[in-house]
Amino acid sequence: MSTNELAPFDALVLMSFGGPEKEADVLPFLKNVTAGRGIPDERLVEVGEHYYGFGGRSPINEQNRELLSALRSELERRGVTTPILWGNRNWDPFLSDVVREFAATKPGTRFLAIDTSAYSSYSSCRQYREDFAQTVATLGAEGVEIAFDKIRQYYNHPGFAKAQLGCVRRGLSELSELTGGLEPSTQRVLFVTHSIPDVMQDASAVMTAGYKGQHEQLIDWIAGELGAELPLQPELVYCSRSGSPHVPWLEPDINDRLEELAAEGITGVLVVPIGFVSDHMEVKYDLDTEAAETARVLQLAYVRADSVGVNEHFVSGLVDEAFERAAQLRGESPDAPAVTPEGPLVPGSGACSVSCCAGVRERAICPVWPAPGE
Ligand SMILES: CC1=C(CCC(=O)O)c2cc3nc(cc4[nH]c(cc5[nH]c(cc1n2)c(C)c5CCC(=O)O)c(CCC(=O)O)c4C)C(CCC(=O)O)=C3C
Ligand SMILES: [Fe+2]
């Protein structure tokens, strides 16, 4: 007997940010990212340099190829034959191209998207829903009907959470080895995520625990799970701020915080990239290059924990979330596990509804999930 755990979906699509793969790609990529966003030119030149420092190649596409292949293996292991594609917002392979090619052989395709972004905010969730709406509209104008849904934001799904827990555990033992033992009075754990503008943070906190609150809840869960294994005080800091210096973004920046901590007598840190699913350019440049250099100058011992990458808990969690979403759309009430007090961000439950993480611009989103009462 065979059942299709992903019905009513015809295909899965891994949806990501995209990144350049050679020097000539860097500027056109940055133009795509910042189209209509008012990022100062100086910032673009500066960010371009981060990429040129790595030969113009972001690691993100390679990491997504690995994630795609890990997801394929996990689906195969579970006997699922539904195809899985990969598409990006800002660089080749572009979502619309991938979807167009697939839908050409199968009109009316229903896609279920898995995006490489765990938390709620305009940049990390709603903007993907705008991308899906735009893709539906573009193909619709070409006479090709398609539909999209997406899995829930998964920062508190046990798969992602357990993967993060493992990364912290390994990082702690590395710091301990490097420094001859964990020392609460002189060491800290810095959980790092991508800074966002305060207004984006505020919009994210209307219908959900918010971008910042979700990170804090996950950190609390990790600390609870580790118990005495975590003798060091954890805190949340930020990286990769951009935009005008007059616009407030979430702080403290990791480099500023390292300076303060060094002045307070801290001599070692474990840096955990909890906001990122893989070691892409923010991790390679902002953490492994820039923050590591700040720590070196301050003579701080610096260990960077792994990102979840293709950790088995993470990968099988993503497949569980796809199954969960498909079952919800079949009218079933699947188990929706979550490790933090906020609970699962079930689409349309209020979290991730039409008004969740609303941006400054009015743009069509897809799928449209009204919350009860909206
Ligand atoms: C929350 C968040 C995530 C995490 C969630 C997720 O993963 O989606 C994320 C991921 C990423 N951000 C990336 C790259 C960039 N982000 C930029 C700009 C911005 N990011 C923002 C937020 C986020 N970004 C914001 C509020 C801006 C300001 C402009 C705007 O309102 O959009 C810019 C423009 C230059 C600059 O301003 O730095 C670049 C080049 C890459 C690719 C890395 C690689 O190539 O390996 C990835 C994975
Ligand atoms: Fe970004």
Across residues 122-132, what is the average pLDDT?
Answer: 96
Domain 11-154+311-329 identical in fold to domain 158-304: yes
Q: Is the pLDDT of residue 1 over 70?
A: no
Rounded Cα gap, residues 126 and 150, in angstroms: 11
- Inter-residue contact 159 to 320 (CB < 8 Å): yes
* Residue to substitute in 240, 253, 278, 289 for testing ligand 1 pocket (most ligand atoms within 8 angstroms of CB): 240
Cβ atoms of 132 and 148 within 8 Å: the answer is yes
Rounded to whole angstroms, the Cα distance separating 140 from 208 reads 32
Phi, psi of 212 (to 5 degrees): -65, -45
**194 CB under 6 A from ligand 1?**
yes
pLDDT of residue 35: 85
| Binding-site entries | 58, 128, 194, 282
Taking the CA of 123 as reference, the closest ligand is: 1
What is the CA(56)–ligand 1 centre distance, in A?
A: 16
What is the pLDDT at residue 349?
85
Give the percent of the chain with pLDDT over 70: 99
126 pLDDT above the threshold of 50: yes
The rounded Cα 140 to chain-centroid distance in angstroms is: 29
Whose CA is closest to 306, among 173, 194, 181, 164?
164
What integer pLDDT is reported at residue 359 of this predicted model?
Answer: 78
pLDDT tens-digit map of 8-59:
999 999 999 999 999 999 999 999 998 877 777 788 888 999 999 999 999 9
What pLDDT shows up at residue 38?
72
Of the candidates 110, 103, 105, the residue with the CA atom closest to the CA atom of residue 139: 103
What would the mean pLDDT of 101-126 be, rounded to a whole number?
95
In this prediction, residue 114 carries a pLDDT of 98
150 — phi, psi (to 5°)?
-140, 160
Q: Coil, strand, or helix at residue 36? A: coil
What is d(CA 300, CA 36) in angstroms, rounded to the nearest whole number? 40
* Contact status, residue 109 vs residue 102, Cβ threshold 8 Å: yes
Residue 162 reports pLDDT greater than 70: yes
Question: Which region among 91-100, 150-159, 209-218, 341-350 has the lowest average model confidence (pLDDT)?
Answer: 341-350
Residue to mutate (ligand 1; options 26, 47, 64, 123; most atoms within 8 A of CB): 123
The answer, yes or no, to whether any atom of ligand 1 lies below 6 A from the CB of 193, is no
CATH of domain 158-304: 3.40.50.1400
> How many Å lie between the centroid of ligand 1 and the Cα of residue 254?
17
Residue 242 structure tokens: 């951009």
Sign of CA dihedral 276, 129, 316, 75: negative
Q: How far is the centre of ligand 1, averaged over its atoms, from the C-alpha of 140 (Å)? A: 28
For ligand 1, atom 31: residue with the closest CA = 37
The yes-or-no verdict on residue 199 having pLDDT over 90 is yes
- Note whether 99 and 87 are within 8 A (CB): yes
Question: In the predicted model, what is the mean pLDDT of residues 179-205?
Answer: 97
Q: What is the rounded distance in angstroms from the CA atom of residue 215 to the CA atom of residue 98?
A: 32
| Ligand 1 neighbourhood includes 246 CB (under 6 angstroms) | no
User: What is the per-residue pLDDT across 247-279, written as a single tens digit (0 to 9) for each?
Assistant: 999 999 999 999 999 999 999 999 999 999 999
Give the residue from 234, 102, 218 showing the smallest Cα distance to 162.
218
Query: What's the pLDDT tens digit per position in 292-351?
Result: 999 999 999 999 999 999 999 999 999 999 999 999 999 999 999 999 999 999 998 878
The CATH topology of domain 11-154+311-329 is: Rossmann fold (3.40.50)
Query: What pLDDT, on a 0 to 100 scale, did the predictor assign at position 62?
Result: 97
- Give SS3 for 162: helix
pLDDT at 134 over 90: yes
Structural domain boundaries in the chain:
11-154+311-329, 158-304
If 0-12 CB within 10 Å is exposed, 13-18 middle and 19+ buried, where does residue 285 land?
A: buried
Query: What type of residue is 302?
Result: Y
pTM for the structure as a whole: 0.96
- Regarding the beta carbon of 280 and ligand 1, being less than 6 Å apart is answered yes
What ipTM did this prediction achieve?
A: 0.92
Nearest to 38 by CA among 218, 228, 185, 243: 243
Whether ligand 1 lies within 6 angstroms of the CB of 64 is answered as no
pLDDT at residue 372 in the model: 79
- 115 confidence band (pLDDT: 50, 70, 90): very high
> For residue 86, is pLDDT > 60?
yes
